[in-house]
Amino acid sequence: MATGKNIRTWHNGQWQDDDVAIIHAADHGAWLGTTVFDGARYFEGVTPDLDAHCARLNRSAAALMITPTVTAAAMAEIIRDGLRRYPPEAAIYIRPMYWAIDGDQSGIVPREGATGFAICLEEIPMADPEASVRLTTTRFRRPVLESSVCNAKAGCLYPNNARMLMEARDRGYDNALVADALGNVAETASANVFMVRGGEVFTPIANGTFLSGITRARHIANLSAAGYPVHETVLTFQDFHGADEVFMSGNMSKVTSVREFDGTKYQHGPVTRHARALYWEWALSEKA
């Protein structure tokens, strides 16, 4: 199901208009869930960290035992070609993806080299910079590498995220602040998370239970360069109740302010606003 509009699909060596069919019923990815994807953004004429997103897709494929078939550089060039088909002012969600086509004799392990590849471009507006969300907790947790492929951006991980979101929505909230296996904060159900206390910035340390996002890393670099002390550390739910500001970090919206966590209210504060301004300043510098 498409999320955006004006969709274009790269498959079998060419761009095609619309949301075209790319996978067969008997493909390994269709019935055993061996799919990986990545997400990047085009807005205001720039594609921030596009090369990094393409490289991560190939790492995700390898982690899921799917053979990557397109180099990150070639992938980025195909994407840039597709973006030329949109007006310069369009905001585009960029989703390259792989899936396994065949299995080995067991039927379970993906067969080496039997890989499908496609890119989907969808026109999706950037989020309102004044938008904010409310968070709650969830009984569902982030998995560990011993039980799930946490080191890949894999489609098979997202039903767990969906359970978190639905539980939060059933409680009247927008999203969930999620724990790892030990009960410490990992991320939200859909994005990495930061908190601000006393002018210092904190984010859960990457411990292998969640993807340490490309946009997350960019915020850490930008805020550090701007003089903010940034700490990657173990954080509890109580830490978040004691925060001055909280914001989410992800490719889709870049920065999303959090206005409440289970009754604790936050301001849409100066550090959150500065994090967004720093990101845009960095991203638009690509035009220079």
**pLDDT confidence band for 277 (50 / 70 / 90):** very high
| Dist CA 226 CA 201 (whole Å) | 12
- Looking at the predicted structure, is the pLDDT value of residue 4 above 90? no
| pLDDT at residue 2, rounded to an integer | 62
Q: Which residues partner with 14 through β-bridges?
A: 11
Domains of the chain, with CATH numbers?
5-123 (3.30.470.10), 132-287 (3.20.10.10)
CB atoms within 10 A of CB 247: 27
Strands 132-136 and 192-197: unpaired
Cα angle value 39/270/252 (rounded, 5°): 10
In order of 54, 118, 125, the CA distances from 227 in angstroms are 30, 41, 31
Q: Above 60 in pLDDT, residue 77?
A: yes
* pLDDT exceeds 60 at position 13: yes
Length of the chain in residues, anyone?
288
The model's confidence at residue 138, banded by pLDDT at 50, 70 and 90, is very high
Query: Under 8 Å CB-to-CB from 92, ≥6 apart: which residues?
Result: 41, 42, 43, 83, 86, 121, 122, 123, 124
The pLDDT tens digits of the residues spanning 145-179 come to: 999 999 999 999 999 999 999 999 999 999 999 99
Average pLDDT over residues 51-61: 98
Confidence of residue 288 (pLDDT cuts 50, 70, 90): low
Q: Are 119 and 82 in contact (CB under 8 A)?
A: yes
pLDDT at 286 over 90: no
Describe the chain by its helix, strand, coil percentages, rounded to 5: 30, 30, 45
